[in-house]
Chain A
Amino acid sequence: MWVDVLIILLKVLVVLLVLIHLGALLTWAERKQSAAIQDRIGPNRARIAGRAAMGLFHALADGIKMVTKEDFVPAGAHRTLHTLAPAAALFPALVVFAAIPFGDVLRIGERVIPLQIADLNVGIVYIFAISSMAVYGTMLAGWASNNNYALLGGLRASSQMISYEITMGLSIIGVLMIYESAQLNVIVQKQGELLWGFLPKWGIVVQPAAFFLFLAAAMAENKRVPFDLPEGESEIIGYFVEYSSMKFAMFFLAEFVEIVIVSGLVATLFFGGWQVPYLYADGFHWPFGLGVWQLPHLLVVLLQVAAFGFKVLIGCWVLLTVRWTLPRFRYDQVMHLGWKILLELAFVNLLITAVVVLLIT
């Protein structure tokens, strides 16, 4: 009993620490990558013991700087809500990962440890329920700041987020139909099956349109370029203009943790989660009758967790790269794209999937 609780505590701690640190590292990756794309050097000054480590310590230096800045609340602002808003933005991003499996099960002696914090049978519903709470952060921040720009930015942000949430929810219904489950670990397990004996039945293979719809909608949810008009640092003042010190850092961190979450979801739903092609619990089963490689259990688990991590990192990299590839939308274009194009495409994808699945069975 106590060992069980301890194991859960350990898993939660590891996941939270990885999320926060990956989020902080992504701020560095984003700056360094933008520098590389724009032919600049980028962060290179912060040093520990004379080593710059490619500017890696800037993430740490930024954190220290944020902590020592004045925590400022503008006159006329609603103090409680102004303080709660950054927490309302960061909290959902931190807890949503609980339903995402980062590995199958780890067996140590008699004990079976699922490599997932909570194996909910409605994992998908949990993820959407929690991630839509993030809109409170932007709305409260905009409203509580007593600032015209913040209010308008908050309105822009919240209506954009709720618009794209529908597409995000609709686009994965096809995935649920094919894998017949809303439990994320089951969805991942079913992606280990093979089509025609060699092609892994990953979401991207059976639902390619859903992948692009989901990615576009998730990026809009995340308020990243090209959907960054709620808070375009370079031109548009947005909902957290009146935030300073760690409160600002929390909005910033929430954005980067959300990048990790989106990559994790994309990997789980469309790229087989922790599955490695042809790798099963006892080793590699090669297609075309090429035989079986037996592998020890621990190595299999390590490979699976590493595969999930690799997929998440690739997803983060794609999301960071998109920023320097696409220009920003105008607000009417964002709403047009969300309501009049993506929503319809998601519907059509849903109907086509339904008809095809019915015809096959």
Chain B
Amino acid sequence: MNMLPLLITFVLAGLVCALMLSLSRLFGPRRPTPVKSEPFECGMDQMEQPRRQFSVKFSVVAMLFIVFDIEVAFLYPWAVMFRRLDVAGFLAVLVFLGLLTVAFVYAWRRGALEWN
């Protein structure tokens, strides 16, 4: 019973999305031409294939994100139980945060956060 409202929300929201996706299929025209279906590139022919290698910085950001997002997820239960865990809990989390800070400082010093 607790999850039923969520299920109903998901189904209805999914229906809204499906309806919107199909609306212009139903009512819109369909006149593709070779020129129209070219990928937009300011009227030029496409110079490079889009699915190519991209800057490694984006994957570094993605990796850092995973580390810190998991950290945040770990901190939520601690924050809710904070007063009951008292000083001992705080010190334990300080050790955890300290370790992550070392990693963060390392990434920073190695220039993982520099964009130019």
Chain A: residues with CB nearer than 8 A to chain B?
Answer: 4-5, 8-9, 11-13, 15-16, 20, 66-77, 83, 86-87, 90-91, 94-95, 98, 117-118, 120, 124-125, 132, 143, 145-152, 155, 158-159, 162-163, 165-166, 169-170, 173-174, 176-177, 180-182, 237, 241-242, 244-247, 249-250, 331-332, 335-336, 339-340, 343, 347, 350, 354, 357-358, 361
Contact between A8 and B69, CB atoms less than 8 A apart: no
Q: Measured between alpha carbons, how far is A190 from B98 in the docked complex, in Å?
A: 32
B57 / chain A contacts, CB cutoff of 8 Å: 159
Contact between B80 and A182, CB atoms less than 8 A apart: yes
Q: From residue A246, how far is it (CB to closest CB) to chain B in Å? A: 4
Given contacts A12-B9, A145-B39, A357-B83, contact A87 B25 (CB under 8 A): no
Contact between B28 and A68, CB atoms less than 8 A apart: yes
Contact between B79 and A177, CB atoms less than 8 A apart: yes
Contact between A118 and B69, CB atoms less than 8 A apart: no
Q: Measured between alpha carbons, how far is A194 from B39 in the docked complex, in Å?
A: 59
Partner of B5 from A12, A68, A155, A350 at Cβ < 8 Å: A12
Q: Using CB atoms, name the residue of chain A closest to B72.
A: A169
Contact between A173 and B12, CB atoms less than 8 A apart: no
A241 / chain B contacts, CB cutoff of 8 Å: 40
Q: Measured between alpha carbons, how far is A166 from B3 in the docked complex, in Å?
A: 27
Q: From residue A135, how far is it (CB to closest CB) to chain B in Å? A: 10
A86 / chain B contacts, CB cutoff of 8 Å: 17, 20-21
Contact between B4 and A5, CB atoms less than 8 A apart: yes
Given contacts A69-B28, A169-B73, A246-B24, list 13 more A-B pairs with CB under 8 A: A12-B8, A74-B40, A98-B5, A145-B39, A159-B62, A162-B65, A163-B65, A170-B75, A176-B82, A244-B24, A335-B115, A336-B113, A336-B115
Partner of A74 from B37, B55, B108 at Cβ < 8 Å: B37
Contact between A180 and B82, CB atoms less than 8 A apart: yes
Judge if B68 is at the interface, Cβ distance under 8 Å. yes
Q: Measured between alpha carbons, how far is A68 from B57 in the docked complex, in Å?
A: 41
Which residues B1-54 have CB closer than 8 A to chain A? Answer: 1-6, 8-10, 12-14, 16-18, 20-21, 23-25, 27-32, 34, 36-41, 46-48, 50-51, 54
Chain B: residues with CB nearer than 8 A to chain A?
Answer: 1-6, 8-10, 12-14, 16-18, 20-21, 23-25, 27-32, 34, 36-41, 46-48, 50-51, 54-55, 57-58, 61-62, 64-65, 68-69, 72-73, 75-76, 79-83, 86-87, 90, 93, 97, 108, 113-116
Contact between A340 and B9, CB atoms less than 8 A apart: no
Q: Measured between alpha carbons, how far is A77 from B24 in the docked complex, in Å?
A: 19
Q: Measured between alpha carbons, how far is A70 from B30 in the docked complex, in Å?
A: 6
Partner of A151 from B36, B50, B86 at Cβ < 8 Å: B50
Partner of A87 from B10, B21, B97 at Cβ < 8 Å: B21
Q: From residue B26, how far is it (CB to closest CB) to chain A in Å? A: 8
Partner of B16 from A66, A94, A237 at Cβ < 8 Å: A94
Contact between B27 and A155, CB atoms less than 8 A apart: no
Contact between B58 and A170, CB atoms less than 8 A apart: no
Contact between A125 and B9, CB atoms less than 8 A apart: no
Q: Using CB atoms, name the residue of chain A closest to B8.
A: A12
Q: Measured between alpha carbons, how far is A163 from B113 in the docked complex, in Å?
A: 11
A180 / chain B contacts, CB cutoff of 8 Å: 80-83
Q: Would you list 11 pairs from A and B whose C-beta atoms are within 8 A, ordered by A residue?
A: A5-B8, A13-B12, A20-B16, A124-B76, A148-B39, A148-B41, A150-B50, A166-B68, A180-B82, A246-B21, A347-B97
**Max chain A Cβ within 10 angstroms of own Cβ: one of B86, B90, B113:** B113
Q: Measured between alpha carbons, how far is A12 from B11 in the docked complex, in Å?
A: 10
Which 6 A/B pairs are nearest by Cβ-Cβ distance?
Answer: A245-B24, A332-B115, A169-B72, A176-B79, A94-B13, A87-B17
B31 / chain A contacts, CB cutoff of 8 Å: 70
Contact between A146 and B39, CB atoms less than 8 A apart: yes
B21 / chain A contacts, CB cutoff of 8 Å: 83, 86-87, 246-247, 250
Contact between B20 and A165, CB atoms less than 8 A apart: no
Contact between A90 and B20, CB atoms less than 8 A apart: yes
Contact between A72 and B37, CB atoms less than 8 A apart: yes
